[in-house]
Amino acid sequence: MKVALVASSYLPRPGGLERHVHELASGLARRGVEVEVLTQDPPRPLPPVSEFEGFIVRRFGGSRGNGHIGVAPGLWEHLRRTARSFDVVDLHTAQAPLGIAVLRARPRRIVFTLHAAVGRLLRWPYVQVTRAIVDSAAQIVCAAAVERELLCRSFPAAAGRTRVIPPGVDLPGIAAARPFACPGIVVLTVDRLEPSKRIDRAIAALAALDGSFRLAVVGDGPARQKLLAYAADLRVSSRVELLGRLPDAEVYRWLRTSDVVLALAEEKSSVLQVAEGICAGSPVVASDIAVHREAAWYLGESPVKLVSPYGSPLEIADRIAEAAEHRVRPGMPPTAWTWDEVVEETLVIYEAVLDRTPEIAVARG
């Protein structure tokens, strides 16, 4: 079997999509699948073609927002020439426009793996592109059941072609990580620094907690300077550390160091943030949104405390203080998925697509 994983971004850029594609490519290659990762990145000193753990990565440079479709010209040209040489093209994207290039290349079979909130993909101007990809995909993969339900309500014909595969957890990596020697009570959040992630609410909650609480933030993004200024305004700068982007090994060390993990996004979030916190032995305070409610249900209610995504920071401070009094037994909850399980389930989908769908007709529209 020959598979192309078309990704809107890839390592070394940090993020859930990037890690998912890498773990999937590595796992498929170990199982004898011929894998190529096709991705686009802003210009950077990285080789255009490289090999990792038995699979090939092809990077196509281009500035962000290239044209109105946001696809690197080299990637589109490569897809046009090679798409039909792959048995399956698996589209991994949080940017619906990348799907245009995949559809125009007319691959033999498409699997669509969503890495963006379905609600966002259903808004203008993405809804028509989303509809075209969904209509053309032999299988669609969502990260959570609530996302699948929303997608199937909007596109009922996709119900029989849509599966749920949550992100995997690297339990051996987390278990092997050594905690940092940090004073006080460490509250950790791992997310992109942008307004919708509501890290500002974590900083505001810190101002209502005593001086033993410290906030560590892993990630980077456009809101960095505003968050630093906000911490200064609230006079908690000495207790807030913006760590920037970190490799997985260091993220795992911070997870093992943390006493409480926060996931306060008001819309798009991931089960992974909650699952990794619990696997590291930290209780989680999360915004009360559908994805986090689902995570709390299948990971176990006790280590997950939900707070209103629009409530007072004082409520968050209270939940943090409560959570800090309780530790969770480190280890994999029985309903969480390992990366091996993610790879195996994805391979089942690919094999089913090959068995049942000789080729697909790309939807027009």
Q: What pLDDT digit, counting tens, does each position of 201-225 carry? A: 999 999 999 999 999 999 999 999 9
- Is 318 found in the same domain as 249? yes
Whether residue 78 is found in the same domain as residue 109: yes
Write the CATH number for 185. Answer: 3.40.50.2000
* Number of domains into which the chain is organized: 2
Looking at the structure, do residues 193 and 239 belong to the same domain, yes or no?
yes
| Sign of the CA dihedral with 15 first, then 16, 22, and 23 last | positive
- The answer to whether residue 360 scores a pLDDT higher than 50 is no
Looking at residue 165, its pLDDT comes to 94
Same domain for 214 and 297? yes
DSSP 43: S
pLDDT at residue 43 tops 80: no
Decide if 92 is inside a domain.
Answer: yes
- What whole-number distance in Å separates Cα of residue 292 and Cα of residue 268? 10
**Span of 230-244, 248-262, 348-362 with lowest mean pLDDT:** 348-362
| More confidently predicted of 40 and 138 | 138
Calculate the average pLDDT of the chain. 89
Q: Report the pLDDT value the prediction gives residue 118, as an integer from 0 to 100.
A: 87
The predicted structure's pLDDT at residue 39: 94
pTM for this model (two decimals): 0.85
Asked if 176 and 254 sit in the same domain, the reply is yes
Would you state the pLDDT for residue 268? 67
Most confident stretch, 78-82, 122-126, 287-291: 78-82
Q: How confident is the model at residue 67 (pLDDT cuts 50, 70, 90)?
A: very low
pLDDT at 45 over 50: yes
Based on the fold, state whether residues 343 and 203 are members of the same structural domain.
no
Beta bridge partners of 186: 214
Q: Does 349 lie in the same domain as 283? A: no
pLDDT for the residue 357:
56
The set of residues, in sequence order, having a beta carbon less than 8 Å from that of 107 and lying 6+ positions away, is 4, 79, 83, 84, 86, 88, 89
Beta strands in the chain (DSSP E): 2-7, 34-41, 49-52, 55-61, 88-93, 110-114, 139-142, 162-164, 185-190, 213-218, 240-244, 260-263, 284-287, 304-307
Q: 258 with 145, same domain?
A: no
Residue pLDDT, tens place only, 189-199: 999 899 989 99
Name the helix (H) or strand (E) containing 271: helix 271-279
Mean pLDDT, residues 241-261 taken together:
94
Please say if the pLDDT value at position 64 is more than 60. no
Whether residues 164 and 177 fall in one domain: no
Residue 183 covered by a domain:
yes
Whether 86 shows a pLDDT value over 70: the answer reads yes
Q: Could you tell me if residue 23 is inside a domain?
A: yes
Q: Shortest CA distance to 239 belongs to which of 273, 209, 280, 267?
A: 209
Above 80 in pLDDT, residue 334? no
Same domain, 28 and 153: yes
Q: Is the dihedral of CA 340, 261, 194, 312 positive or negative?
A: positive
Beta strand 88-93 with 2-7: parallel, antiparallel or unpaired? parallel
Quick one: 271 and 196 in the same domain? Answer: yes
Domain assignment present for residue 344? The answer is yes
Specify the pLDDT at position 216.
98
Residue 117 within a domain: yes
Is residue 300 located within the same domain as residue 350?
Answer: no
When pLDDT is cut at 50, 70 and 90, the band that residue 302 belongs to is low
pLDDT at 44: 66
- Please tell me which residue, 336 or 188, carries the higher pLDDT value: 188
Domain that holds residue 258: 171-324
Residue 331 domain-assigned (yes or no): no
Residue 15 within a domain: yes
What band does 347 get if pLDDT is binned at 50, 70 and 90?
Answer: very high
Considering the domain boundaries, does residue 362 fall inside one? no
CA atoms within 13 A on the CB side of 342: 24
